[in-house]
Amino acid sequence: MTRRGLAFAAMCLAVAILLAAGLDHALAQAATPFGVGRPDATVSGPMGGFGAWVMAEQSRFYRQLSSAIRAAKENGTAAWGLIGLSLAYGVFHAAGPGHGKAVISGYLFASGATLRKGVLLAFASAFVQALTAIGLVAVLALILGATASQMDDFALVLERASYGLIALVGLLLVARKGAAFWVVLGPSLGLATVPAHVHGPDCGHIPLPEPGGAGGRGAVAAVLAIGIRPCTGAIIVLVFALAQGIFIAGVAATFAMALGTAVTVAAIACVAVLAKGLAVRLAAPGGTGAALALRGLEFAAALAILGFGLALFFGAALPVGQA
Amino acid sequence: MRRLLLALSCLIAAASTAAAHPHVFVTSKSDIVYAAPGLVSGVRQTWTFDDMFSSFAIQGLDTNKDGIYSREELQPLAETNVESLKEFDYFTFVKIGGKPILLKPPTDYWLEYKDNLLTLHFFLPLATPQHQGEKPLAVEIYDGTYFVAFTFDETKPAVVEGAEGCVVDVHKPKELDPALAAMAAQLGTDDPGTLASNPSFGASLANTILVNCP
């Protein structure tokens, strides 16, 4: 039973890894048809009715945003409608493609954080993402009067920084989880290991950063990695609101979108935390085999984040049309 | 327990599903241009963008700060537009009697900003003018990646220029089947022609203009 449970957990992780690996073509350094406005990165996966429904819904909400912004200009109470709409858009948008969810759930699975931390990460990254979009439009469009393609260029830089950070977070996790995995794997292969030296966190000899540490630098890096990549929808909404002379409505809408996004991502984060809890429980009574499987899963999740970050980073580095 | 894990793997799969939605909405008008009766020379497109994308695209382009976005001020953007569209085959697929016809890069392109909406005008010449004969001419307009959503103009989706007595039919895409749209989004941008080769996609996503001339 325990073995089977672990096998299933391994399977679901394998699914996640495959999805991350399937990124390459959809990767969305997608060229931009009109040369301005960047498509959001899309994670390609099995397409089901659920994904299609999510897309149809977010598209519907997105279309209504412009009239909601204009209505908010006419009268203040309409602003509530705009906020509700943005919230709904955020919920559905986050259920669609996105690097945030993949990184957060992989991170939480590998590092094994609490539910509270999972939710906190989801909200923090969504909030940072809103701030990035608002900051970008406020500085570039409002103050500097930049053009759309200049904003795109800057967004692209942020995007690449975000992907690089994701790879870095993955690398830290791989180092840490790889060490933990080796501690179990080494002896079982009949290889002598020196646990005291490999146990990164417990050992002064290998001062590995601690991505899994409660509130550690790893968590901050993960939040930044996700948050510094602004979303295209938010930028367009902000510029539109600015053009209508009610930038503040765009700011409100962006925060509402972030809140909606956070709700969805938090739900997914909870699943990751629970999955980890389950895997730990299943492994608890077992011997070396169970420990091996658990450490192996953690290591695989860490590798998935690293792979995801690298694929995105190098995907974004390719010239338009080559991805 | 097992069921829980199974549910979980499904959830993860569902959560990672691709579902990018359109960020640009275009209302399309087309002039099918004949150099002489029976001789098709190209398609003149008039594409009006939605208000949000319009505001975004023109941001910062009122260089003389007179509050008017003139054709001259917008020309660099028009340039960028048509250059970028090349990779997408201008979202315009011409067929005569079902046979795809090659197009040349646009000529005569410019942008116009009116009533808060930006409109891109461009003429797409056929690589060589084609004798249509008895065969139907089809012009399909769509974005296989579904980043751009095209809709025909309500009043004047398509007209014929330079030929008499031609019958123009327009076929709107069916109310977009979300499953198809999602599959379209998944096809990726590297192969915008994929839809054309898939009849079920073509029929559902494409805005099609059919012209039959005497």
pLDDT of residue A277: 85
Which residues in B lie closer than 8 A to residue A283 (C-beta atoms)?
none
Which of the listed ranges A10-14, A288-292, B120-124 does the model predict with the highest average pLDDT? B120-124
**Average of per-residue pLDDT across B177-200:** 48
Establish if B68 touches chain A: CB-CB under 8 angstroms: no
Contacting residues for A176 by C-beta, under 8 A, at least 6 apart: A200, A201, A208, A209, A210, A211, A212, A302
pLDDT of residue A62: 87
Does the beta-carbon distance from B60 to A30 stay under 8 Å?
no
Please tell me what DSSP assigns to residue A200. G
Instruction: Say how many CB pairs under 8 Å bridge A and B.
Output: 217
pLDDT tens digits, A273-318: 888 888 888 877 767 778 888 888 889 889 988 988 888 888 755 4
**Chain A residue closest in CA terms to B7:** A12
pLDDT of residue A47: 47
Which two three-digit tokens encode residue B114? 């009116």
- Measured in degrees and rounded to the nearest 5, phi and psi for residue A126 equal -65, -40
Which residues in A lie closer than 8 A to residue B148 (C-beta atoms)?
33-34
Establish if A43 touches chain B: CB-CB under 8 angstroms: yes
Q: Chain B closest CA to A306's CA: distance in Å?
A: 17
Q: Chain B closest CA to A18's CA: distance in Å?
A: 10
Closest CA to A269 of A223, A303, A232, A300: A223
Contacting residues for B177 by C-beta, under 8 A, at least 6 apart: B204
The pTM assigned to this predicted structure is: 0.77
**Chain A residue closest in CA terms to B10:** A12
Establish if B111 touches chain A: CB-CB under 8 angstroms: no
pLDDT tens digits, B7-52: 444 444 444 434 467 789 999 999 999 999 999 999 999 999 999 9
Q: From the candidates A4, A34, A237, which should be mutated to test the interface with B, based on the most B CB atoms within 10 A?
A: A34
3-state secondary structure of B92: strand
User: What span, in angstroms and rounded, lies between the C-alpha atoms of A278 and A143?
Assistant: 51
Q: B-contacting residues of A 219-248, CB under 8 Å?
A: 232-233, 235-237, 239-240, 242-244
B184: confidence class by pLDDT, cuts 50, 70, 90: low
Which two three-digit tokens encode residue A70? 């204009």
User: What span, in angstroms and rounded, lies between the C-alpha atoms of A306 and B16?
Assistant: 17
Beta pairing class for B92-96 and B99-101: antiparallel
Q: Is the Cα dihedral B10, B11, B12, B15 positive or negative?
A: positive
User: What span, in angstroms and rounded, lies between the C-alpha atoms of A161 and B26?
Assistant: 32
User: What span, in angstroms and rounded, lies between the C-alpha atoms of A93 and A62?
Assistant: 9
3-state secondary structure of A122: helix
User: What span, in angstroms and rounded, lies between the C-alpha atoms of A305 and A16?
Assistant: 10
Which residues in A lie closer than 8 A to residue B149 (C-beta atoms)?
59
Residue A271 in contact with residue B11, Cβ under 8 Å? yes
User: What span, in angstroms and rounded, lies between the C-alpha atoms of A284 and B206?
Assistant: 56
pLDDT tens digits, A179-225: 888 888 877 777 755 544 444 444 334 334 444 444 477 888 889 99
- Measured in degrees and rounded to the nearest 5, phi and psi for residue A48 equal -120, -175
User: What span, in angstroms and rounded, lies between the C-alpha atoms of B192 and B145?
Assistant: 7
pLDDT tens digits, B63-97: 888 989 999 999 999 999 999 999 999 999 999 99
Which residues in B lie closer than 8 A to residue A9 (C-beta atoms)?
5
